[in-house]
Amino acid sequence: MKRLPLWKISVPVPAETEEAVGELLESVLGTPAVTWRDERTRRTVVSSYVDAPRAWSAEVRAQIEAGLTRIRQCGLTLGRTGIQVTRLRHEDWANSWKRHFRAMEFGRALLLKPSWVRRRPRAGQQVVVLDPGLSFGTGQHPTTGFCLEQIVANRSADQQQSLLDIGTGSGILAIAAVKLGYRPVEAYDFDPDAVRVARANARQNAVSRRLTIAQRDLTREPLRSVHKFDMICANLIFDLLLSERARIVNRLGPGGTLVLAGILRAQFPAVARAYHPLGLRLRVSRRQNEWQSGVFARG
């Protein structure tokens, strides 16, 4: 079988833009985007791999450049070098990108893995199968990983605990929560494509009947809610975490746990200060690369 050449399409990005650029490359090129970071230089590059000339052309480049322009117009910054195209040596390109996605354990209770990884779970360990796609959330990103760790760490096997996932993306947090025994579990996202993907992932993991995934806009939800949750995960952008903090907190039950993620380190102190007057105190925090996430509780 003749092996096609592979082209790596890359865009250098600052941390706050990697998600937007990854979604752009995936939507235009149709292959999962990979984020690579050099810890020494603190340089981050988002890349997708395609075979040429079928999937790479002047028209495709123009589509990506137009998307990068839209990202800049939204106020996000990009690297100065723009799109980089590199021809790589012959290999089995159909599977080459898969090496960037590995199985991950969260405590001893949860195993997250792509469908092509054959790793078996430990005794009693729950498994979530999730392949990279157009919706954010594979567990590889520090903010998603932190949320998963907290869902595992805060699960009490002898209690019924509910969970709300705001901005569900791929549905990974809600699916993991159901697997670990949380109920009821609700999740929603503003993006209809994210909701479609999250529902497909729930079906793949045989939990679609045990959670609710809906398309909803947090900013249009009632300020107060009758339904309260023992845990809320809000992996959202900084502006939403600030402007909608009252809506988020009003859905947290007595003694509940609030996990906030998707926050740049420079922005995190402002988030912590904003939630303090609402009766929430920072209990656990973690910094990884440019990101910082936190667990908040009342009192």
pLDDT at 4: 57
138 has a pLDDT exceeding 70: no
Decide if 21 is inside a domain. yes
Which one of 40, 66, 98 terminates a domain? 98
254 and 141 within one domain = yes
17 and 148 within one domain = no
> Which residues 6+ apart lie within 8 Å of 276 measured at CB?
none
Domain count, the chain: 2
152 has a pLDDT exceeding 50: yes
94 and 134 within one domain = no
Mean pLDDT comparison of 76-90, 109-123, 224-238, highest-scoring range: 224-238
Mean pLDDT of 181-205: 93
Decide if 50 is inside a domain. yes
Question: How many residues comprise the chain?
Answer: 299
Q: How far apart are CA 59 and CA 64, in angstroms?
A: 9
Question: CATH number of the domain that 15 lies in?
Answer: 3.30.70.120
Q: Is the pLDDT higher at 4 or at 217?
A: 217
pLDDT band at 116 (very low <50, low <70, confident <90, very high): confident
Decide if 69 is inside a domain. yes
Question: CATH number of the domain that 207 lies in?
Answer: 3.40.50.150
Decide if 57 is inside a domain. yes
107 and 50 within one domain = no
Q: Which of 167, 127, 152 is nearest to 19 (CA)?
A: 167
Q: Around Cβ 162, how many Cβ atoms within 10 Å?
A: 18
Q: What are phi and psi of 292, to 5 degrees?
A: -140, 135
Q: Range of 188's domain?
A: 101-298
84 and 54 within one domain = yes
pLDDT band at 186 (very low <50, low <70, confident <90, very high): very high
Structure tokens at 193: 């494509």
Query: Both ends of the chain: CA-CA distance in Å?
Result: 65
Q: How far apart are CA 144 and CA 149, in angstroms?
A: 9
235 and 131 within one domain = yes
| 35 residue type, one letter | T
Decide if 112 is inside a domain. yes
233 and 293 within one domain = yes
- List Cα–Cα distances, 189 to 13, 186, 234, 275, in angstroms: 25, 11, 11, 22
131 neighbors 153 (Cβ within 8 angstroms): no
Instruction: Indicate the range of 27-36, 52-61, 85-94 predicted with least confidence.
Output: 85-94
Decide if 1 is inside a domain. no
- State the average pLDDT for the chain: 86
79 and 22 within one domain = yes
pLDDT at 90: 55
- List Cα–Cα distances, 46 to 32, 61, 235, in angstroms: 10, 15, 20
Q: What is the pLDDT of residues 231-282, one digit of tens each?
A: 999 999 899 999 999 999 999 999 999 999 989 889 999 999 999 999 999 9
pLDDT at 98: 60
pLDDT at 136: 53
113 and 69 within one domain = no
62 and 48 within one domain = yes
137 has a pLDDT exceeding 90: no
Mean pLDDT of 65-84: 82
Which one of 39, 63, 98 terminates a domain? 98
pLDDT at 220: 95
180 and 139 within one domain = yes
Instruction: Indicate the range of 27-31, 75-79, 114-118, 155-159 predicted with least confidence.
Output: 75-79
Q: How far apart are CA 116 and CA 133, in angstroms?
A: 14
Decide if 161 is inside a domain. yes
pLDDT band at 134 (very low <50, low <70, confident <90, very high): very low
pTM over 0.85, yes/no? no
pLDDT at 214: 96
> Is the torsion defined by CA of 107, 103, 294, 255 positive or negative?
negative
Decide if 150 is inside a domain. yes
62 and 12 within one domain = yes
Which one of 98, 118, 149 terminates a domain? 98
Mean pLDDT comparison of 2-6, 43-47, 126-130, 136-140, highest-scoring range: 126-130
